[in-house]
Structure 1
Amino acid sequence: MLKHIVVWTMKPETSLEQKQEMKARLESLAGKIPELRFIEVGIDSGNGTMSLYSEFDNEDALIAYQVHPDHQAVVGFVKPLVAVRTVCDYVL
C-alpha cells in the first residue's frame, strides 16, 4: 500500500470558496479513477494550508492516477491557487 500525502500552502488571495471548490473537485475523483483507493482532503482553519491524504496499491497506481485526465483537469484548477506544494509518498 502506497500512501500519498500532499500539503499545499495557498496563495494569500485564495478565497475560502476556492479552497472548498478545490476540496470538492479532488474528492470527486473517488470512483472516477480506479487506482485511487482512498482520498481525504482537509482545509486548515488556521494558516491557509490544505492537505490531501490518499492511498494506492503501488507506485504504478499512483502514476496512473497522476496522468489520468480527470486528475489533470483538477490540477489545472489547483495550480493557480497554490504558493507551495509539499509531497510525501511512502509504502507500508
Structure 2
Amino acid sequence: MVRHIVSWNFKPELTPEERREAGALLAARVNALKELIPFALEVKAFCPPLDSSSCDFVLYSEVPQASDLPLYQNHPEHQAVLPLIQKYLCDRRCCDIEG
C-alpha cells in the first residue's frame, strides 16, 4: 500500500471568510474522490488540521501499490479538483510512503 500525503497553505491574500469557504469546498470535493476513483483505498481531506499543524489543508490518500499512484494522480476526477486547489492553495508539500 502507498500513502500519499499532501499539505498546502491558503494563499496569503485570502480573507478569513474566503479561507473558511474555500476549505469547506475543497474538503467536500476531495472527500468525494474516494467514491469516484475505484482503486483509491482512502481519500480524506483535513481542513483545518489541528492547531499544532504548520499547514492549512491536508490530503491523505491510499492506493494499493506504487504503480497506482500515477493512475490516481492522473485520474480525471482527481484532475478536476486541481484548478480549485491552484486557485486557493500554495506551498505544496508531498510525501509518499510505501508499506
Tell me the TM-score normalized by structure 2: 0.84
Whole-Å Cα distance in 2 between the matches of residues 65 and 76 of structure 1? 16
Displacement of 1:55: 0.7
Contact kept? 1:41, 1:51, Cα under 8 Å: yes
Whole-Å Cα distance in 2 between the matches of residues 17 and 43 of structure 1? 11
State the one-letter code of the partner of 1:6.
V
2:22 match: 18
Whole-Å Cα distance in 2 between the matches of residues 39 and 82 of structure 1? 18
Percent of matched pairs sharing the same residue: 32
Whole-Å Cα distance in 1 between the matches of residues 7 and 81 of structure 2? 16
For structure 2, the 5+ residue unaligned runs are: none
**Worse-superposed segment, 41-50 or 64-73:** 41-50
How many residues get paired?
A: 92
Whole-Å Cα distance in 2 between the matches of residues 22 and 56 of structure 1? 20
State the one-letter code of the partner of 2:9.
T
2:42 match: 38
More helix by share: 2
State the one-letter code of the partner of 2:69.
L
State the one-letter code of the partner of 2:65.
N
Whole-Å Cα distance in 2 between the matches of residues 72 and 35 of structure 1? 15
For structure 1, the 5+ residue unaligned runs are: none
1:87 match: 94
Displacement of 1:62: 1.3
Tell me the TM-score normalized by structure 1: 0.90
Whole-Å Cα distance in 1 between the matches of residues 9 and 38 of structure 2? 28
Contact kept? 1:35, 1:64, Cα under 8 Å: no
More strand by share: 1
